[in-house]
Amino acid sequence: MSDLSLNDYQRLASRTSGAGRDGDFRKIIAALGLAGEAGEFANLVKKLTAHGHEIKPDVLADELGDILWYLSEAASACNLELAAIAQMNVDKLRRRYPDGFSESASRNRTD
């Protein structure tokens, strides 16, 4: 399996968008889908940790893939690229936690 860039994924995923190209409607569907899929993932984690269910990694991966698809849809609806979003996030985390995460740095952040 080859590495797939975030922007390539976004381009390929947008081929299956059912919400059309209307930015506002597409944003709404992406937001609702993202919340729904995140809820499904959270429910699996709850069952795994609190109820003692055996949840196979491929089931979790499937839900995470659905989350990624809706995240990609949200980015596309906002005319943003996933790779740019990822880079912005990494840059922000480097500023907040230049030496890696610590509870002290988290409590004392200024941004």
Q: Which domains are present in the chain?
A: 6-80 (1.10.287), 82-111 (no CATH)
Burial of 110 (0-12, 13-18, 19+ CB in 10 A): exposed
The beta strand positions in 6-110, using DSSP E, are none
Give 27's pLDDT tier (boundaries 50, 70, 90).
Answer: very high
pLDDT of residue 2: 72
Please list, in sequence order, all residues whose beta carbon lies within 8 angstroms of the beta carbon of residue 85, skipping any fewer than 6 positions away. 75
Cα–Cα separations (whole angstroms), residue 37 to 1, 12, 44, 99: 25, 19, 11, 33
For 48-66, how does the pLDDT look when each residue is reduced to its tens digit (9 = 90+)?
A: 999 999 999 999 999 999 9
pLDDT of residue 32: 97
pTM of the entire predicted model: 0.89
